[in-house]
């Protein structure tokens, strides 16, 4: 039981370490190979690592393979950033939340 709760705590903690920040398509650095979240015109989100981009297309490596997205179909582009404050806040708040839930159960 202790191991299970420890694994769950770690998985939740590492999920909160990252957030997405909106960037301009023209200011994207290709050399960094960062992770992006692209919102298309239809409202569909595509997450993946940047492979290449040019004036007409953006190519992302996703879970299902490489996906080519035409620039005219891109509504919003967000880059994944490490969020130190979210991680710190979550790691401080988690023990208190668990104690509160434990108190409610008992």
Which one-letter DSSP state was computed for residue 42? T
Residue extents of the structural domains in the chain:
1-17+83-106, 19-82
Residues 13-47 have pLDDT tens digits of 655 566 677 787 777 777 667 788 888 877 888 88
- Is 48 in contact with 35 (CB distance < 8 Å)? yes
Could you give the maximum distance between any two Cα atoms of the chain, in Å? 60
At residue 92, the pLDDT reads 64
Using the Cα atoms of residue 48, residue 53, residue 58 and residue 64 in order, give the sign of their dihedral. Answer: negative
Residues 46-71 have pLDDT tens digits of 888 888 888 899 888 889 999 888 98
How far apart, in whole angstroms, are the C-alpha atoms of residue 57 and residue 60?
10
Residues 1-10 have pLDDT tens digits of 677 776 666 6
Tally of CB atoms within 10 A around 69 = 19
Pick the CATH number of 19-82 from 3.40.50.300, 3.40.50.1100, 1.10.1530.10, 2.30.30.100: 2.30.30.100
């Amino acid at each position: 039981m202790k191991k299970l709760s420890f694994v769950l705590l770690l998985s939740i903690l590492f999920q909160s370490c990252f957030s997405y920040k909106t960037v301009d398509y023209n200011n994207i650095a290709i050399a960094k190979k960062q992770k992006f979240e692209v919102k298309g015109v239809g409202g569909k989100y595509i997450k993946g690592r940047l492979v290449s981009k040019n004036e007409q297309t953006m190519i992302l490596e996703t879970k299902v393979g490489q996906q080519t997205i035409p620039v005219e179909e891109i509504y919003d582009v967000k880059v994944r950033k490490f969020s130190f404050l979210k991680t710190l806040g979550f790691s401080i708040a988690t023990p208190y939340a668990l104690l509160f839930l434990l108190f409610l159960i008992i």
